[in-house]
Amino acid sequence: MPDSRPDPRPDSRPDTRTLRLQRAMASLVLDRDEAVLEADAGRAARRHGLSAADQQAFRAQGEALMTYRELARMSLLEPLESMFPVLKALLEEAGDWDACVQQFLDARAVRSGHYRDIAPAFLGWLVASAWGQDRWPFLLELAHAEMLEVLVARFPDGEPVPGLHAEPQPGDLLVLDPATRIVSYSHAVHRATEASPHPETRPTHLIAFRQADGEAQLLDLTPATSAFLVRAQETVLGEAAVSLGFDGLAPLLPLLHDLHRDGAIAGFQSPT
């Protein structure tokens, strides 16, 4: 006979009403049809199976909830507008910025509660959805370059790498500054501006680094120098140079000196 006594263990099931309330509030903020919500704020509660009393509470607080919606959406949109100003200009020119943002919100792609994760979630959604990339083949590269520039500028300071020296030798390895990134694109997206957001189509190799004043700099590289800077982190400078067709290390010394002076390269070290 089944035991009908109460289970003495704590109930570990989630509070389903609390979850429904959370989902209703998310719908109130993220759903696209503001006019419908404004006419009946209880609709969000009804969609998620909340009680008639909860639905009535939503209706009674309709004006306050719509103010909350406006403020919450502003907090979601501000990171996108500040991180992707050129992308925003491109899409506003076509009348598609609001549609893009709403489709991102519809996808419920922001899983984190941290403000800093909104822009990366947007970039991830662009990758996964391929939104707009048939019309603008450079769109994803443009968004990536804009976010890269901000992340490089904001990269946290760390302790200096020990054992580095400033003068490169053929037997040394190259050590980039931790904030530095080397990237390649099919379009010159770093040249796009809010006034002219359509980049030239051409293979583009860049080194992104943080200058002494804290600003990010994106510098053009040739395909060979880009490959060299990547390879020389694991293969000694002289060997890396020759393997890529350079006449030894000498032709690359001006570039190495400049990048070290400007902070892109932390220094050089002998292999262990």
DSSP per residue, 54-119: HHHHHHHTHHHHHHHHHHHHHHHHHHHHHH-HHHHHHHHHTT-HHHHHHHHHHTT----S-GGGHH
Q: What 3-state class would DSSP assign to 254?
A: helix
Tracing tokens 């006449």 back to the chain, one arrives at: 247
> The tokens 């263990």 sit on which residue?
9
The pLDDT, as a whole number, for residue 140 is: 98
Residue 54 — pLDDT band, cuts 50, 70, 90?
confident
48 DSSP assignment: T
Per residue in 65-115, pLDDT tens? Answer: 888 888 888 888 899 999 999 999 999 999 999 999 999 998 888 877 777
More confident residue, 21 or 206: 206
- Which amino acid is present at 34? E
Contact yes or no for 251/165 (Cβ under 8 A): no
Read off the pLDDT band of 15 (50, 70, 90). Answer: low
Average pLDDT of the chain, as a whole number: 89
Residue 70: its pLDDT value, please? Answer: 83
Secondary structure (3-state) at 269: strand
More confident residue, 115 or 166: 166
175 has which bridge partners? 267
Whether 13 shows a pLDDT value over 50: the answer reads no
Residues forming beta bridges with residue 185, ordered by sequence position: 204
From 7-11, 90-94, 207-211, 246-250, the region with the lowest mean pLDDT = 7-11
The pLDDT > 70 percentage for the chain reads 94
pLDDT at 3: 43
CA-to-CA distance for 27 and 69, rounded, in angstroms?
Answer: 9
List of residues 6+ apart from 82 with CB closer than 8 A = none
Q: Model confidence at 14, in pLDDT bands (50, 70, 90)? A: low
Residues in the chain: 272
Asked if residues 142 and 198 have their Cβ atoms less than 8 Å apart, the reply is: no
pLDDT(60) > 90: no
If one counts every other C-beta atom within 10 angstroms of the C-beta of residue 51, the result is 12
Confidence of residue 32 (pLDDT cuts 50, 70, 90): confident
Neighbours of 11 (CB within 10 A): 7
pLDDT at 11: 40
Q: Locate all alpha helices (DSSP H) within the chain, ordered by sequence.
A: 16-30, 34-39, 42-47, 52-60, 62-83, 85-93, 97-106, 118-129, 139-154, 223-231, 237-243, 253-262
- Band the pLDDT of 170: cuts 50, 70, 90: very high
- pLDDT value for 71: 85
Q: Whose structure tokens read 């520039």?
A: 149
pLDDT (average), residues 17-45: 77
The CATH number, out of the four listed (1.20.140.10, 1.10.3720.10, 3.40.50.300, 3.90.930.50), of the domain defined by the range 159-269: 3.90.930.50
Look at the block and give the residue holding tokens 């099919």: 186
Judge whether residue 29 has pLDDT over 90: no
> In this structure, how many other beta carbons lie within 10 angstroms of the beta carbon of residue 175?
18
Q: For 201-244, what is each residue's pLDDT tens digit?
A: 999 999 999 998 899 999 999 999 999 999 999 999 999 999 99
pTM over 0.85: no
Task: Answer for the pair 76, 3: CB distance below 8 angstroms, yes or no.
Answer: no
